[in-house]
């Protein structure tokens, strides 16, 4: 009886030992890469929810080899430091406005010009086409996942206005790269992060904002403003990046990199369509709030277009001084918008 027990225990021991010898190398090969994703958008915003979905999709399609912890609402890094934080590895993935990294993205600054965007989908697709065409060196210190941009930039004010001429003298929140739009209309541009804008507008530190319809609902500015002016001759977009730390990206296997690239392609379209949806919902929201929406006639648009013209050669001149081909980039964007309405 003792001999039988000894044999049985020996067999069990050998089986267990064999299992350990086989399984240990496999588990070592299945090293999990953990990423931290810093996001500008607050948790309730649709783009924070889309980022959540992106994180889950990455984990799903890499079979758990890459996991992402999402930090919305600037809980990991301030919006003005997100890009630098990704470069330094404080965050592994980051989403924020390029405008918050002043001077870092000179060529991409073309999107702050009044290019005449008519939708967020158009702006988002133009941005990614621009990146694929030129691969600007300004992004070389990170791995770009994808880019997106909001719908047509509009002027909304606390005052009831009769026309765009009433902008003269008003303090309007802008990003640095589109301040010239307000200056050309006679307004006084004021740069500040969007996260500080609601309080500034409420307290009267500024009298209006240069933002898309979406922001009037998503950031609640529609609760304060009284007039929104829709004039596509002055429509810009604010580019938003989703980038990954280069060392982290290079630590991911080629197969999993390809899976993530595929997700990114799908999310470009998702973001594009979501911008359109949010703009439509926000327009309905502000109208219900009693906001006066002034829509420009063709004559109004032609008048504003003339005021915008001097902005373009200034951009080209500025890029030339930096050794960059702003003229080619500007032409590409204007042509792409015309052929992709």
Distance, in Å, from the CA atom of 149 to the CA atom of 98, rounded to the nearest integer, reads 10
Q: What is the mean pLDDT of residues 33-56?
A: 96
Query: In this predicted model, what pLDDT tens digit does every residue of 61-75 receive, in sequence order?
Result: 999 999 999 999 999
Mean pLDDT over all residues of the chain?
91
β-pairing, 227-230 with 154-157?
Answer: antiparallel
- pLDDT at res. 29: 55
2 SS3 class: helix
Q: What is the mean pLDDT of residues 156-166?
A: 95
| Measured CA distances, 171 to 49, 166, 205, 237, 309 (Å) | 33, 12, 8, 20, 22
| Residue 11 pLDDT > 80 | no
Nearest Cα to 235, choosing from 191, 279, 273?
A: 279
Nearest Cα to 105, choosing from 147, 71, 64?
A: 147
DSSP structure class, residue 73: T
Nearest Cα to 227, choosing from 157, 283, 288?
A: 157
Higher pLDDT, 26 or 103: 103
* Residue in the block written with tokens 């049985």: 8
Sign of CA dihedral 74, 75, 80, 81: negative
Q: What is the mean pLDDT of residues 293-314?
A: 95
Q: What is the mean pLDDT of residues 280-297?
A: 95
Q: What is the mean pLDDT of residues 179-207?
A: 94
Nearest Cα to 164, choosing from 178, 147, 181, 141?
A: 181
Give the tokens for residue 184.
């050309």
- pLDDT at res. 16: 47
Nearest Cα to 336, choosing from 179, 131, 67, 98?
A: 131
Nearest Cα to 151, choosing from 243, 103, 217?
A: 217
Residue-range domains of the chain with CATH: 154-237+286-339 (3.40.190.170)
* Backbone phi, psi, residue 175, to 5°: -95, 155
Distance, in Å, from the CA atom of 205 to the CA atom of 221, rounded to the nearest integer, reads 14
pTM value is 0.85
Q: What is the mean pLDDT of residues 198-206?
A: 95
Q: What is the mean pLDDT of residues 104-111?
A: 95
Query: In this predicted model, what pLDDT tens digit does every residue of 131-147 receive, in sequence order?
Result: 999 999 999 999 999 99
Distance, in Å, from the CA atom of 101 to the CA atom of 84, rounded to the nearest integer, reads 8
Query: In this predicted model, what pLDDT tens digit does every residue of 35-46 receive, in sequence order?
Result: 999 999 999 999
| Residue 17 pLDDT > 60 | no
- pLDDT at res. 24: 41
Q: What is the mean pLDDT of residues 26-30?
A: 48
- pLDDT at res. 193: 85
| Residue 176 pLDDT > 90 | no
Distance, in Å, from the CA atom of 57 to the CA atom of 55, rounded to the nearest integer, reads 5
Q: What is the mean pLDDT of residues 225-244?
A: 96
Q: Residue 175: pLDDT band by 50, 70, 90 thresholds?
A: confident
β-pairing, 292-295 with 227-230?
Answer: parallel
Distance, in Å, from the CA atom of 169 to the CA atom of 156, rounded to the nearest integer, reads 14
Distance, in Å, from the CA atom of 235 to the CA atom of 229, rounded to the nearest integer, reads 11
- pLDDT at res. 243: 98
Q: What is the mean pLDDT of residues 249-256?
A: 97
């Amino acid at each position: 009886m003792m001999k039988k027990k000894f044999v049985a225990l020996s067999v069990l021991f050998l089986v267990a030992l064999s299992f350990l010898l086989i399984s240990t190398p496999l588990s070592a090969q299945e090293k999990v890469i953990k990423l931290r994703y810093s996001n500008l958008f607050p948790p309730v915003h649709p783009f924070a929810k889309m980022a959540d979905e992106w994180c889950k999709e990455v984990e799903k399609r890499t079979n758990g080899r890459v996991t992402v912890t999402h930090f919305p609402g600037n809980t990991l890094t301030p919006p003005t430091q997100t890009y630098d934080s990704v470069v330094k590895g404080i965050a592994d993935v980051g989403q924020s406005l390029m405008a918050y990294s002043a001077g870092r993205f000179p060529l991409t600054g073309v999107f702050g010009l009044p290019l005449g965007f008519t939708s967020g989908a158009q702006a988002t697709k133009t941005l990614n086409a621009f990146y694929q065409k030129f691969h600007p060196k300004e992004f070389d210190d990170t791995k770009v996942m994808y880019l997106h941009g909001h719908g047509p930039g509009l002027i909304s004010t606390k005052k009831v206005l009769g026309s765009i001429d009433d902008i003269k003298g008003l303090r309007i929140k802008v990003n640095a790269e589109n301040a010239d739009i307000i200056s050309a209309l006679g307004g006084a541009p004021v740069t500040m992060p969007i996260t500080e804008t609601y309080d500034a507008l409420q307290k009267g530190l500024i009298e209006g904002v240069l933002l898309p319809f979406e922001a009037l609902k998503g950031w609640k500015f529609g609760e304060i403003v009284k007039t929104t002016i829709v004039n596509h001759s002055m429509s810009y977009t604010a580019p938003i990046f989703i980038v990954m730390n280069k060392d982290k990206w290079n630590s991911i296997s080629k197969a999993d990199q390809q899976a993530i690239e595929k997700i990114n392609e799908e999310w470009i379209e998702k973001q594009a369509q979501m911008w359109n949806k949010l703009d439509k919902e926000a327009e309905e929201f502000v109208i219900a709030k009693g906001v006066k929406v002034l829509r420009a006639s063709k004559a109004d648009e032609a008048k504003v277009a003339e005021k915008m013209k001097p902005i373009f050669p200034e951009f080209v001149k500025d890029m030339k001084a930096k050794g960059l081909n702003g003229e080619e980039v500007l032409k590409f964007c204007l042509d792409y918008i015309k052929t992709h309405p």
